[in-house]
Structure formats: C-alpha cells, structure tokens
Structure 1
Amino acid sequence: MSDLNALFTQMQNNFDSGAAAGLDAVFQYQITDGEPYYVAVADGECNVAQGEHDDPSVTLHMDADTLAEVMSGETDGMQAFMMGRIKADGDIMLATRLASVFPVA
C-alpha cells in the first residue's frame, strides 16, 4: 500500500494557486484501505489534514493504489471515475477541477 501521507504531501506541493483562484472547497478523501484525509482550498491556499472534515464540498471514495496512480499520472482521474474505481458524493463538478488545481508533476 502507498504511503498516504507522502501522497497528500505531493498533492500539496503540486498545488497551483492560479488554477485555484476563486475556489473555496473541501475535498474529502475516504481511502477504503487507509485513513481519511481532506484537502481544503480557499483564498489561493491549500491545506491538507488527516481525518474527516465537518462539511466537505465533495467526498471521493477510492483505494490507496487508485490515488497513487492518479497522483502519478498513470491513471486519469476521470477515467478512474468512469470505471468505478473512484466514487464521488456531493458537488461532483468540483472533482473535475482537481486535475487543474493539482496538476501531475
């Protein structure tokens, strides 16, 4: 299994504040074989924390390997969603912005 902390640190490092302009959202990650994490984006800033947010904008359900593949660019997030490897609850349209806000290095 992937090191979730390293994956979310990489996500924070890849954060594109320009692409996130005007975005105020909380992305909750429910990792089926690991700990939950959330990524809060507001005012061009990105904060990552382990745990569950009280009021996420969108919740993404996936396993750690799927997250690692999407983060590395090996798998396209939208394709993984269409294949049922990622499930989403809440504002699903927000999830479509993840690729531009957190581009693959």
Structure 2
Amino acid sequence: MSEKMQLVIDGDSVAFKQSAGFEFRLNLSEFPDLVKAHLAKVKPTANTKSTQACESLGAEVLEKDFEWEFLKPFIRDVCRWGGFALIYAKVLNEK
C-alpha cells in the first residue's frame, strides 16, 4: 500500500511530505522558471496537444460544469499529453 502524501503551503513555499520522512520543498519564486522549463521540454506532437491547449480544454470543462461531452475529450487529450494514450479507455470506463 502506498503512503499518502501531504501538501503543505507555508508562506513562500510548498512542501510535499510523507510520514516516512520524505519531503520535497519548492519555493514559490522558483515556480515561473520551472513552468518555462516544462513548456520548453514538453512539445506537442502530431498526436498530442500542447500544455496550453490542454489547459484551455480544462477551463472549458470547468465552465461547462464537467459535462461529459466536454470532459471526455479533455481526458483523452490529457492522457495523450502525459504519454498514457492507452489508458484513456480505462479511465473512461472507470468514470
């Protein structure tokens, strides 16, 4: 069984902690550079949308109150974006 992780937002930083002593801390001032590095590394392909396109779909899902018509393509595109295109059907079947 995997251990639960705790998210702690503490002033200028965010920490992810486990009871076994593991802790990863991120200063919020580092976040913009990490996002830029991520966007530079993760490029869309013929089969995937860009990070920004997935975020736009996510905003549309929120606006539409998670209606299935909008949620289904969002799940598909995020699974593809994350490199897990084959898990899409399983995620949909689990709802």
**TM-score bin (small chain):** under 0.3
From the two aligned structures, give the one with the greater helix fraction. Answer: 2
> TM-score normalised to the size of structure 2?
0.25
Question: Quick one: higher RCO (CA 8 Å, sep 6+), 1 or 2?
Answer: 1
Structure with greater strand share of residues: 1
